[in-house]
């Protein structure tokens, strides 16, 4: 019968205070009185509350200690707490209110009407905060979905111009996820955080966005490129980085910065012989080193007008030979850690790679 009423937990070792507060609040709220911090924590383990009214001076556990213990519980982390005290000097309890959810302090004996108004105001304030957080979360989710959609659309546009089957990006993303998983398994001291991993997987779609600036006569040439044509083709890394150039203030989560690193550096090589800047070793951004392995793997396995495709085992052997030359050794080791899962990705795409 209390489903629509706010749940208030009142904690005080004085039974008279509990009776007074319960009588004052029971008509408007579900009011649960308990006499110790231990009882309060036991209740909080099984129930959520909307507000706590807690005595400062209690045996075994003070009000401040209870507040800290309650807010350490994930389900109670944001519950507002009002402290109660019979002390004349409330300077120390006030100094202890550095927890943003310990919202106020009242001196006993309290004025009933004032306490009722205080409780009502804080309940309304925290309701508004919760609603604002939900709105902000929904807006952020909508913005992320819109950004992800636009990223995929741009990537598909580039991919369709270069490879009309449009599967290169899908395979690259799947392989990139597995390489990151292998990297985190082998190198837990250098763990790639979940949000960074998601950003790399998203941004690898834009690795070749600079190809939009390459002439069709070169990009779509059915045979091998001449040295002069290849020099022009190599500029797609620079064009891509320029296209993704954005002020930091307009890229708060670093998504475009990651995409720019990948676009510019995914053809760099571990030994410094790559392009466009001739970076060497860890000078190459980690995201680009990961994507380079996924990109080359897919290029070697896929059919091209000027050469036959290679088997997974043939490709693997070539990439192992390039360990420490073309590729970061750690990334190749991460690839090997996930070899079976990556091979399964290519088996699932087999008919689409080599029709």
- Write the pLDDT tens digit of every residue in 92-114: 666 656 666 688 888 888 888 88
Question: Alpha-carbon distance 102 to 64, whole Å?
Answer: 9
What class does CATH assign to 7-133?
A: alpha beta
Residue with more model confidence, 231 or 96: 231
Angle at CA of residue 257, ends 268 and 245, nearest 5°: 95
- Cα(57)–Cα(84) distance, rounded to whole angstroms? 9
Sign of CA dihedral 318, 323, 325, 328: positive
Q: How confident is the model at residue 304 (pLDDT cuts 50, 70, 90)?
A: low
Question: pLDDT-derived band of residue 354, with 50, 70 and 90 as boundaries?
Answer: very low
Q: Which whole number is the average pLDDT over 212-240? A: 88
Q: What are the residue ranges of CATH 1.10.3210.10 in the chain?
A: 163-353
Say what the pLDDT of residue 1 is: 37
Give the model confidence (pLDDT) of 21-77 as tens digits. Answer: 999 999 899 999 999 999 999 999 999 899 999 998 898 888 888 988 998 898 888
Residue 297 host element (H or E) = helix 286-301
Q: Which residue has the tokens 């089957």?
A: 165
Q: Which residue spans of the chain are classified as CATH 3.40.50.2300?
A: 7-133
The vertex-296 CA angle with 159 and 326, nearest 5°, equals 140
190 against 152, higher pLDDT: 190
DSSP-derived pairing of the beta strands 102-107 and 81-85: parallel
Catalytic residue among 6, 178, 211, 269: 211
Least Cα distance to 213 among 151, 168, 158 occurs for 158
Q: Decide if pLDDT at 90 tops 90.
A: no
The reported pLDDT for the residue numbered 355 is: 41
Angle at 67 between CA 62 and CA 71, to 5 degrees: 150
- The yes or no reply on domain 163-353 and CATH 3.90.1170.50 is no
| Residue 211 is a catalytic residue | yes
Per-residue pLDDT, 77: 84
Model pLDDT for residues 116-170, shown as the tens digit of each residue? 888 888 888 888 777 777 776 776 666 566 566 556 656 655 665 555 445 788 8
The pLDDT score that the predictor gives to residue 214 is 86
**Whole-number pLDDT of residue 106:** 84
Give the pLDDT score at 232. 93
Average pLDDT in the chain: 84
E-assigned strand segments in 271-333: none
pLDDT tier at 246, thresholds 50, 70, 90: confident
């Amino acid at each position: 019968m209390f489903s629509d009423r706010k749940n208030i937990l009142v904690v005080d070792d004085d039974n008279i205070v509990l009776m007074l507060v319960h009588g004052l609040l029971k008509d408007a709220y579900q009011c649960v009185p308990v006499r110790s911090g231990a009882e309060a924590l036991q209740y909080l383990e099984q129930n959520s509350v909307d507000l706590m009214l807690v005595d400062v001076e209690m045996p075994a556990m003070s009000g401040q200690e209870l507040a800290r213990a309650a807010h350490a519980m994930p389900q109670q982390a944001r519950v507002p707490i009002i402290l109660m005290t019979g002390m004349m000097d409330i300077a120390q309890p006030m100094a202890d209110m550095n927890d943003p959810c310990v919202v106020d302090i009242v001196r006993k004996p309290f004025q009933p009407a004032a306490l009722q108004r205080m409780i009502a105001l804080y309940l309304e304030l925290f309701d508004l905060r919760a609603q604002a957080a939900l709105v902000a979360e929904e807006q952020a989710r909508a913005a992320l979905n819109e950004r992800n959609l636009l990223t995929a659309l741009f990537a598909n546009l580039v991919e369709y111009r270069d490879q009309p089957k449009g599967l290169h990006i899908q395979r690259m993303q799947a392989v990139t996820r597995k390489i990151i998983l292998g990297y985190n398994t082998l190198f837990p001291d250098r763990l790639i955080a979940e949000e960074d991993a998601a950003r790399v997987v998203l941004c690898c779609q834009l690795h070749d966005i600079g190809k939009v600036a390459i002439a069709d006569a070169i990009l779509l040439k059915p045979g091998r490129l001449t040295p002069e044509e290849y020099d022009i083709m190599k500029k797609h890394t620079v064009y891509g980085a320029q296209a993704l150039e954005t002020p930091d203030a307009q890229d708060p989560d670093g998504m475009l910065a990651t995409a720019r690193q990948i676009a510019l550096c995914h053809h760099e090589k571990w030994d410094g012989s790559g392009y466009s800047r001739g970076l060497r070793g860890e000078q190459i951004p980690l995201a680009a080193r990961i994507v380079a392995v996924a990109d080359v793997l897919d290029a070697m396995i896929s059919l091209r007008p000027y050469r036959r495709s290679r088997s997974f085992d043939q490709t693997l052997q070539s990439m192992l030979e390039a360990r420490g030359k073309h590729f970061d050794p750690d990334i190749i080791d991460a690839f090997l850690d996930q070899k079976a899962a990556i091979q399964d990705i290519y088996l699932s795409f087999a008919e689409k790679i080599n029709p």
